[in-house]
Structures are given as C-alpha cells and as structure tokens.
C-alpha cells in the first residue's frame, strides 16, 4: 500500500481531529459490577480466568490514585504481560470477533483489537475521560521503512489535551510512545464510547460503519457482563 509520506504527528493528529460522524452511546448507565464479572469469569472460563480477573481488579484498585500517565503505564504493562497474542480464528473460531475484557481475560489471549479494547475500558474505569482516549484503527507497516507492506492493526491513543500529540499504547511495542515515534502507523479511523472519527485522507477499504457495529455489539455484551462506563460529561 503506497501512501504520501507525512510527518507522523501531523498524520495522527489530522486523522483524529476529523469530524465525529456517528454517535455511539448515550443516556444513563449503571455502575460497573466487577463482582458480577468475577463470578462470570469462574463460571464461563474456570479458576485460572477468575484469578486473572482478580489480578486485573487489584491492578485497577492500586492505580486509582495514580496520575494519568502512570495509569497508562500500569494498564499497558498489565495486558501486554498477561495476554498472549492469538488470532480470532484460533481463540474464537471466527474471522473477526471483538472480545469484551472479560472474554479476553478469560481466554488469556486475543488479537490487537482485544488488547486495545481491554486497555481502553480499563483506563475509562480508572477515570480517564472519554475525550482523552481513542481506539485507533490503523495500517501498520511491516518490514523496513518504505516496504509498502502493511496490515490492519488497532492501538489506543491518549490525548492529554485536544491539541497535544497523542501517546500510543500498543501490544506490538511495550513502550508507550508519542505518535512522532510511530511512523509505522497509518490511521484509518478512530472511535471511543461516544463516537467515530474517519480519517479524510486514506485509501483503505475498511468500512468504519461495519467496524462500529462490532464495537456496539461488544459494548452491549460488556453491559450484560457487568462492565459499564462511568459518565464523564
């Protein structure tokens, strides 16, 4: 896939600043019920999964009073260390399945979307506002610079302010890096629990509306499992 080269900071900021085109969630939601998640982890996935959920809850509790940057580091490290990377075809016997954090923790494995969703939801539970976080669907360059080969990938972007350079949380690279240090990523669209943003200059054939349908389905399943998001507005 050949693209016109742009400065990575400008590329990510430009794509993510595009207008919001779809609203995702609205209305009042119940408080998260992590005890319910704990019970379901044991019932659906067994004792090892329940222990993993316990470790996740402990990490959240220990991170509550941290600065936002420290919350990013804790959450990113937890999932990158705890989870194995596996394709959906292996974990779920499906071509493209967006797992809930409970499902991902229960399986102990997932693909890039599952890592990103689990990190995003954990940071939201820790009080990081939705407007500071985006799930970013990108094309990730494979091989040497200029190889022209890329693959679909998803990361989490954190914006300290709307005009700041985003920090990128990724399962491929353990270190949280600013966008300027991720020239291998080419954004297609981004979204969070409140809306979807489409990059204006992309040649990807990815359908944001279809992806948003998977996100809505994942959010619905999260609510049934007891994982709902706090209101920040």
**Half-sphere CA count of 105, side-chain side, radius 13 A:** 28
The answer for residues whose C-beta is within 8 angstroms of residue 228's C-beta and 6 or more apart is 29, 30, 31, 32, 33, 222
Question: In terms of Cα–Cα distance, which of 69, 184, 182 is closest to 132?
Answer: 69
The better pLDDT of the pair 150, 114 is held by 114
Q: Per-residue pLDDT tens for 3-58?
A: 334 444 555 655 555 455 555 554 445 578 999 999 999 999 999 999 999 999 99
What pLDDT is recorded for position 3? 39
DSSP line for 34-67: HHHHHHHHHHHH-HHHHHHHHHHHHHHHHHTTS-
- Asked if the model's pLDDT at residue 133 lies above 90, the reply is yes
Q: What is the DSSP letter of 17?
A: T
| Domain architecture of the chain: domains with CATH | 8-225 (3.10.620.30)
Q: What three-state secondary structure class fits 29?
A: coil
What pLDDT is recorded for position 45? 98
Structure tokens at 93: 């016997």
CA 160, CA 81: separation in Å to the nearest integer? 25
Q: Per-residue pLDDT tens for 193-203?
A: 887 777 653 33
What pLDDT is recorded for position 193? 83
User: pTM for this structure?
Assistant: 0.85
What pLDDT is recorded for position 42? 97
Structure tokens at 218: 């994942």
149: confidence class by pLDDT, cuts 50, 70, 90: confident
2: confidence class by pLDDT, cuts 50, 70, 90: very low
- Asked if the model's pLDDT at residue 92 lies above 60, the reply is yes
**Half-sphere CA count of 98, side-chain side, radius 13 A:** 21
**Quick one: CA dihedral 66, 16, 153, 176, positive or negative?**
negative
What pLDDT is recorded for position 60? 98
Cα angle: 36, vertex 216, 94; to 5 degrees: 85
Question: In terms of Cα–Cα distance, which of 90, 149, 88, 140 is closest to 117?
Answer: 88
Averaged pLDDT of the chain: 85
Q: Per-residue pLDDT tens for 157-185?
A: 999 998 899 999 999 999 999 999 999 99
Stated length of the chain: 233
Cα angle: 165, vertex 169, 175; to 5 degrees: 95
């Amino acid at each position: 896939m050949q693209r016109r080269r742009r400065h990575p900071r400008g590329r990510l900021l430009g794509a993510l600043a595009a207008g919001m085109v779809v609203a995702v969630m609205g209305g009042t939601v119940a408080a998260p019920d992590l005890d319910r998640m704990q019970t379901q982890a044991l019932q659906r996935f067994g004792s090892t999964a329940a222990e993993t959920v316990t470790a996740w809850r402990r990490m959240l509790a220990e991170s509550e009073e941290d600065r936002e940057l420290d919350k990013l580091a804790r959450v990113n490290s937890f999932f990158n260390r705890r989870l194995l990377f596996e394709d959906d075809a292996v974990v779920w016997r499906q071509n493209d399945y967006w797992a809930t954090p409970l499902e991902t923790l229960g399986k102990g494995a997932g693909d890039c979307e599952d890592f990103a969703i689990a990190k995003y939801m954990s940071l939201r539970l820790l009080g990081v506002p939705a407007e500071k976080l985006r799930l970013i669907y990108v094309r990730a360059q494979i091989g040497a610079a200029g190889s022209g080969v890329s693959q679909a990938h998803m990361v989490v972007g954190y914006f300290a302010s709307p005009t700041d350079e985003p920090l990128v949380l990724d399962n491929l690279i353990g270190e949280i890096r600013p966008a300027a240090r991720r020239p291998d990523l080419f954004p297609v669209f981004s979204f969070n629990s409140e809306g979807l943003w489409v990059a204006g200059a992309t040649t990807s054939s990815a359908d944001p509306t279809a992806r948003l349908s998977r996100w809505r389905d994942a959010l619905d399943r999260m609510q049934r499992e007891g994982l709902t998001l706090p209101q920040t507005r």
